[in-house]
Amino acid sequence: MTTELTVLSLAALLWVAQFVAYLIAGHGRVDVLHAMGPRDTPFEKPAVMGRLHRALSNHTEGLVVFAIAALVVTTSGQSNGFTGMCSWIYLIARVLYVPAYAFGWTPWRTVIWMIGLVATTALLLAALF
């Protein structure tokens, strides 16, 4: 397996861990019947729960683009040291992003997000050139 696919697998596991952290943060704070219903009306997600939910949504969005980049590099046979390094930078940034968002590390949350975006963009560009 290429480094990019290994990191993609780890990033997917990070998504699962973030989802579990979000559920734990909301345990006992949200009306269970409302949460299990169709959610036609939004409900308040208190403090850390809301931040963890937004971090999870952000990871979901970023993971789609990173997955495309990792798959393009792998299937086109362009995996190399540079693309592997970009993949690891992306994952490290995503791991750091969770506490940065949960604890409101301003401006570091944005800086960390930008590092992940630049790494993913570099991975895509490496596949094209």
Q: Where are the domains of the chain?
A: 3-36+46-128
Task: Identify whether the C-beta of residue 53 lies closer than 8 Å to the C-beta of residue 39.
Answer: no
Predicted TM-score (pTM) of this structure: 0.90
pLDDT, tens digit, 9 for 90 and up, residues 92-112: 999 999 999 999 999 999 999
SS3 category, 103: coil
CATH value of 3-36+46-128 in 3.30.565.10, 1.10.1740.10, 3.40.190.80, 1.20.120.550: 1.20.120.550
pLDDT, tens digit, 9 for 90 and up, residues 8-43: 999 999 999 999 999 888 876 666 666 677 767 776
Give per-residue burial for 27-40: e unless 16+ CB within 10 Å, then b.
Answer: eeebeeeeeeeeee
In sequence order, which residues have a C-beta less than 8 Å from that of residue 59 and are 6 or more positions away?
A: 11, 14, 15, 18, 94, 97, 98
Please state whether the peptide bond connecting residue 107 to the residue before it is cis, i.e. omega within 30 degrees of 0.
Answer: yes
